Structures are given as structure tokens and as C-alpha cells.
Structure 1
């Protein structure tokens, strides 16, 4: 068992290193790619609509509506890039360069293949989220709110979940048009319904049930609480939910890799 775990670890590092060699030449591009949409949302909703919202009510977290949505923007950007970057990376190898078959022929454990791809997705998401965090710090001046261990832990777990979904989608789709369908029917709705712009606790029960099915909702709640709330009020349930989701996806991804044929 110990030998197998060591082998999986070594194989995971090998697969991840291959991904890193490709990513390191595009660090700035990756960090900036996911910044555009959150920055537009911050300006339109946080600065534009935010002034009207602040006059009508006080947000449940943060001093104003802009501060309220900033953790949600971090969640949104890390979700989009972790999923999209991982999916398109695998699709590119499978459908265009035709190099994915070589990866499947390697004497590497299927779980290591999944973990290597997933960790690369985490790195993409964290790099992009780092740009949004920088914007959040510049707007609020609250460095400790966005750069604390609990905030970063939830961010990494969120990237792990959506990079894992990206791996599964990338392995299963037959064309880039299919990726667009997943993006339109999964990622885009979750961007607006995942608690990024509102507090899910204020919704009617039947809508609350739908919203709390989405993993991004737990990320938004966790990041917002980690940024602004006392530790005693932190919703600790978000960590096991995201962690279990990531573990389940890992088993699904390893199973998919073990049966993958291209």
C-alpha cells in the first residue's frame, strides 16, 4: 500500500510537471484571462448598482455591496478558469494535437493521471483568482480579509472541485461545441445562482434548495465568511462538502481514465 501511494505520488508529480511546462510560458495570460468578467461585474454591480443597494439596505457581510460581492468574484473567476482551462487543455490534446493517446499509454496509475490534470487546473484557478484578490485588496485595503489561511483553503478546494469537473467533461466530450453546452448550461447559470451576487439565506425555500445543490454556493458562503465574519460564525460545513465533492470527483476521474479510449 505504501509503495502504491508513493508510486501514485511520483506519477502525479510527473503528469503535473508536464502541464506546468506548458503553463509557465502563459502565466500572465492565464492570470489575466479570468479577470475580465469579474472586473466588469465589480464595476457594473459593485460600483454602479452598489450605491443604490447600499442606500436601500446593509449587506449581510462586508461594509457595502462592493465588499459583499468581492469574495463571490474570487469564487467565480477560480471556477471559470479551473473548469475551462482544464477542459480545453484535455480537449486540445484529444481532438486536435492527438497526443492524448500517448498519455494513456504511459505506465501511470489512472488516479495519478487525474490528479496531475486536476492540480494543473487548481494552479490555473489560483493564478486567476490571485488577480481578482489583488483587485479586491486595492478596492478595500483589507489585505488580511483576502489573504488568510481559511480563505485560501476554500479557494483551493473550489478549484479542485471545478478542475475535477473539467477533467471529466474534457474526457467525455466529442467536440468543442459540446464544451460550449456544458459551459452554457452549467457554468454560466452557476455564476449567477451560486451566491456570488446575493445571500442565499434570503431566498424562498424552494429556490434555496436549488441554490444549495450548487458547489459554488458553498464556496461563496465560505469565502465571504472567511473574509468578513468572526471565526466563531464561520460555516464550517462548507469545507467537508467541498472536500467530499473533490474526493468523489477524483474516484470518478480515475475510473474514467482507466476506461478511456481515444
Structure 2
């Protein structure tokens, strides 16, 4: 009888090792696929932010066209956290939602994934976290471009690296959770349409091109946009990268992103289970 606890511990340790190896096996599989499409990934990541920063922060200043700013800071500085937020959010969403379309409907690769010696929830979380990982890569690609392309000076002031890291991680995980929710809630034929429909309103009403505080002139809109997760990504990064600009309190942004991650993640995992059972 005295040997039973030892046996249980050994069995638990063996199971944990098996789960860990299986999880990283799926991760390396996704990494192999991503590394084979580096050019596509880079183009998808930088195209929209690069176009906006080139037109509004390079072309307009060169031709003498004034663009609105906030707090006496030039528009290029306002754009930096917002466009990093766009890259993080939409790269994270697309990295999870769009592959799920193929895996559930065309290649049926999802059947191979769920055969791994892992709980189904862990398989779903691997998809979510790998999407978040791609969001981090997207931020590291886009940020240098936003810093060097503008014709005017960009005033980035990172006052707290821990704040930047926490906001970035929360933002990327929220993006992955949103991608999982979209990819499992809608039918495969609907996902590309849903993704294309949400991009424009989410971007323009996500405090990308202006701080949330500036919407005080339109109180009803200032309240409505608070349902948009991109607002908290933009404002959180604004607090971390350009604290001289008006921004939401960091704990508000981080709290909202935590709630969004929890809700979207729960919806995504639930939807993943249902799709697998179907």
C-alpha cells in the first residue's frame, strides 16, 4: 500500500511528459508550416501598416498636407501604437481563424491533431497560443518600419518595459482567442467573409488613428467603441510606447483585455469541441 502514492506520482509525471511532448510536437509542426511561408507572412503583416504610415506620415508631410495630431505631438507618433495594435490583432486573428477553415473543411488536418495524446482543450489552446506567437512576430516586424519610414520625428518613450511586455502578451493572446472564436463559431465558408467585414470598422473605430480621450467631443461614440477589443490594444500600447499622449489607464486596458481573452477563449474552446465532435 505504501508504494501506491509513488506509483500515482510516477504515472502523473509520465502523463505530463507525454502531454508536453505532444503539445510541442504540434507547435513545431505549425512552426514548420510558418517557416515555409515567410514571405507571405511578412507581406500580410506589413502591407496595411506600411501603407498607412507611408501615406500619412511620409507623403503628407512632404507635400505640406497637415494631418491631425493630439497633444501637440505629430501624427506619426500617434500612429505608432495604433498600427502596431492593428498588426498584432489581425495577424493573431488570421493566424488562427483562416487555417481552421482549411483544417475543418478541406484538408481535414484537424482529425490528425485531435488524435495526438492531448486533451482536446489543449489542442485548441495550442492553436490560440501559436496565433499569439505570430502576433508577437508581427509587432517586431512592424514597429521598426513605423519608426524609420515617417518624414517627421517619431517620439517613442518606453517608460516601463514590464508594462509593454504585459500589454503585448495580453494583446496577442486576445487576438489568438478571437481567431479561435471566429474560426469555430462560423461555418468555414463564412469565416473569410466575416474576417473581411470586421477589419474596416474594427480598425477605424479602434483608436488606431487617435487616442480614445479625443472622442470626448462625441460622447456616444466614445462609449460605443469600448466594446471593440482593438481600443484596449491601441490604448495599452499607447500607454507603453507614447505615454506623453492621452491614453486609458493601463490597468483599464489590461483588465479589459483579460476579460476579452477569457470570454473569447471560452467561446473558442467550446466551439472547437463542438466542431471536433461534428
TM over 0.5: yes
Which residue of structure 1 lines up, in the alignment, with residue 226 of structure 2?
Answer: 212
Q: Which runs of 5+ in 1 are unaligned?
A: none
Secondary structure of 1:198's aligned partner: coil
Secondary structure of 2:250's aligned partner: coil
Deviation at 1:169, TM superposition (A): 1.8
Q: Does 1:239 align with 2:254?
A: yes
Which whole-Å CA distance do the structure 2 matches of 1:147 and 1:29 have between them?
Answer: 33
* Higher deviation after alignment, 246-255 or 49-58: 49-58
Deviation at 1:21, TM superposition (A): 2.2
Q: 1:2 to 1:161 in 2, by over 3 A?
A: farther
Q: Is the 8 A contact 2:77 2:242 kept in 1?
A: no
Q: Does 1:186 align with 2:198?
A: yes
Q: Does 1:95 align with 2:109?
A: no
Which whole-Å CA distance do the structure 2 matches of 1:58 and 1:172 have between them?
Answer: 39
Which residue of structure 2 lines up, in the alignment, with residue 136 of structure 1?
Answer: 146
Which whole-Å CA distance do the structure 2 matches of 1:56 and 1:74 have between them?
Answer: 19
Which residue of structure 1 lines up, in the alignment, with residue 79 of structure 2?
Answer: 69
Secondary structure of 2:171's aligned partner: helix
Match 1:153 to one of 145, 166, 173: 166
Q: 1:54 to 1:215 in 2, by over 3 A?
A: farther
Whichever of the two has the greater Rg, that structure is 2
Deviation at 1:10, TM superposition (A): 5.3
Q: Is the 8 A contact 1:32 1:128 kept in 2?
A: no
- The alignment's TM-score, normalised by the length of structure 1, stands at 0.84
Which residue of structure 2 lines up, in the alignment, with residue 226 of structure 1?
Answer: 240
Q: Is the 8 A contact 2:79 2:209 kept in 1?
A: yes
Which residue of structure 1 lines up, in the alignment, with residue 271 of structure 2?
Answer: 256
Secondary structure of 1:17's aligned partner: helix
Q: 1:7 to 1:106 in 2, by over 3 A?
A: closer
Q: 1:50 to 1:79 in 2, by over 3 A?
A: farther
Which residue of structure 2 lines up, in the alignment, with residue 45 of structure 1?
Answer: 56
Match 2:178 to one of 145, 159, 165: 165
* Higher deviation after alignment, 89-98 or 67-76: 89-98
- Map 1:98-137 onto structure 2 (within 5 A): 98-137=108-147
* Higher deviation after alignment, 44-53 or 94-103: 44-53
Match 1:195 to one of 199, 207, 211: 207
* Higher deviation after alignment, 148-157 or 74-83: 148-157
Higher helix share: 1
Q: 1:147 to 1:53 in 2, by over 3 A?
A: farther
Deviation at 1:75, TM superposition (A): 0.4
Q: Is the 8 A contact 1:50 1:65 kept in 2?
A: no
Q: Which runs of 5+ in 2 are unaligned?
A: 1-11
Deviation at 1:29, TM superposition (A): 3.2
Q: Is the 8 A contact 1:111 1:250 kept in 2?
A: no
Which whole-Å CA distance do the structure 2 matches of 1:180 and 1:8 have between them?
Answer: 32
